[in-house]
Amino acid sequence: MAPTTIRKAIGVVKDQTSIRIAQVASNMAPEMEVAVVRATSHNDYPASEKYVREILDLMSHSRGYVLACVSAVSKRLGKTRNWIVAVKALMLLHRLIDEGPPLFQEEILYATRRGSRLLNMSDFRDEAHSMSWDHSAFVRSYATYLDQRLELMLFYRKSTDAGTCGGSVGGGGADDRFGGGDNFRWAPYEYGGGDMSESVTPLRDMTRDKRVFGRMGHLQRLLDWFLACRPVGFAKNSRMVFVALYHVVRESFQLYAAICEVLAELLDKFFDMEYVDCVKALEAYYSAAKQIDELVGFYNWCKDKGVVRSSEYPEVQRITTKLLETMEEFVRDRAKRPKNPEREEEEPAPDMNEIKALPPPEN
């Protein structure tokens, strides 16, 4: 038998064994664990939609099924040394975060708070395939992207609880959920559902309290990890990698729109900012210019591979060198300006009760 045939046969046996163990030894919800195993099988095909729907249906019944799902996916990710199983588990987790009950997101975030890094796959190595280093690298990047996405959700959850965050993520079309039926829950607008969906402080007000810079930093870090998901080597021609990229790339359209909104707000206020804030804004623009150049290259590669229909991609606007030079020149001029003199303290108005009466005139 060919090595590929033997490997597939071994994968089938492993899946069947995991299913039998779950049916007999599972302490939580055996049907949930079985569904997770079937949705993350060893075969080189996307998970059947019926298994994903089954998992979503089970989670809608009770909190116990949500906890069982988190446990099953975590166990699957923690034990596997097969890149196909790992990618399918990450794809399942990605889908459940977007379409599952809010409690599922919260349980993952709480697990992260407790130090249980569900998506910490920095040491993942495929041991089932030859020449699989590039696929292992994609698994690590994809897992980190999802982890950073959850961190961003946690950040906005805390900010929303404190009443200090909000505003439109993408503004207008960006909040259209990619113009389709996607349920990408970009915190803080849909995370947790229900009462968590209302916005609070508009973005224009965020500029005054400096939170726009923090938000820009979070968005740019997430964009960095999205760019790191660009496959290399043998992974560039893998069908499973393309399937995983489909959802990630379409999410990036809204991420790009959110970054553009913050950049526009920074530029709108740039010439009225204090010097320190001008420097921060300029640094953000230089960093964004480099990222957007990489984003254009990534999108062009995705178009060539047919990851997403070409008509769905946004028109990416590069940050021009002329704009960067203009901003830098303004910062240099701003640094040479003398500091604003402190306002002289106004003399307090005299107290009429303390004024002594004049003596009567002498005759």
302 close to 308: Cβ distance less than 8 angstroms: yes
Q: Is the pLDDT assigned to residue 240 strictly greater than 60?
A: yes
- Quick check: bond before 338 cis, omega within 30? no
In whole numbers, what is the pLDDT of the chain averaged over residues?
A: 79
pTM (two decimals): 0.77
Question: Which pLDDT does position 270 carry in this prediction?
Answer: 92
Name the more confident of 347 and 240: 240
Dist. CA 233–CA 173, nearest whole Å: 35
- Residue for token pair 């034990």: 79
Dist. CA 179–CA 10, nearest whole Å: 42
> What is the average per-residue pLDDT within 104-121?
77
Question: Which pLDDT does position 55 carry in this prediction?
Answer: 95
Q: Which 8-state DSSP code applies to residue 355?
A: P
Name the more confident of 58 and 174: 58
Q: Is the pLDDT assigned to residue 88 strictly greater than 70?
A: yes
> Cα–Cα distances in Å, from 189 out to 97, 107, 134, 159, 254?
14, 18, 36, 12, 13
Name the more confident of 153 and 158: 153
Q: What is the pLDDT of residues 63-85, one digit of tens each?
A: 999 999 998 998 898 889 999 99
Q: What is the pLDDT of residues 168-188, one digit of tens each?
A: 333 333 333 323 333 334 433
**CA 272 to chain CA centroid, nearest Å:** 31
Question: Which pLDDT does position 118 carry in this prediction?
Answer: 79
> What is the average per-residue pLDDT within 53-70?
93
What is the architecture of the domain spanning 120-335? Answer: Up-down Bundle (1.20)
Q: Is the pLDDT assigned to residue 3 strictly greater than 60?
A: no
42 close to 82: Cβ distance less than 8 angstroms: yes
Dist. CA 304–CA 236, nearest whole Å: 11
In 3-state terms, what secondary structure has residue 287? Answer: helix
User: Per-domain residue ranges for the chain?
Assistant: 120-335
Question: Which pLDDT does position 146 carry in this prediction?
Answer: 94
Q: What is the pLDDT of residues 185-215, one digit of tens each?
A: 443 323 233 333 334 445 555 445 478 898 8
> What is the average per-residue pLDDT within 208-229?
88
> What is the average per-residue pLDDT within 242-268?
96
Q: What is the pLDDT of residues 266-284, one digit of tens each?
A: 999 999 888 999 999 999 9
Question: Which pLDDT does position 99 carry in this prediction?
Answer: 92
Q: What is the pLDDT of residues 301-318, one digit of tens each?
A: 999 999 999 999 999 999
Q: Of 58-62, 156-160, 290-294, which range is least confident?
A: 156-160
Q: Report the percentage of the chain scoring pLDDT > 90.
A: 49
Question: Which pLDDT does position 211 carry in this prediction?
Answer: 81
- Find which of 14-18, 31-35, 203-207 is predicted with most confidence, using mean pLDDT: 31-35
> Cα–Cα distances in Å, from 43 out to 8, 117, 240, 243?
7, 27, 10, 14
> Cα–Cα distances in Å, from 162 out to 85, 153, 158, 201, 249?
39, 14, 6, 11, 31
Residue 57 pLDDT class (50, 70, 90 cuts) = very high
Dist. CA 131–CA 53, nearest whole Å: 34
In 3-state terms, what secondary structure has residue 176? Answer: coil
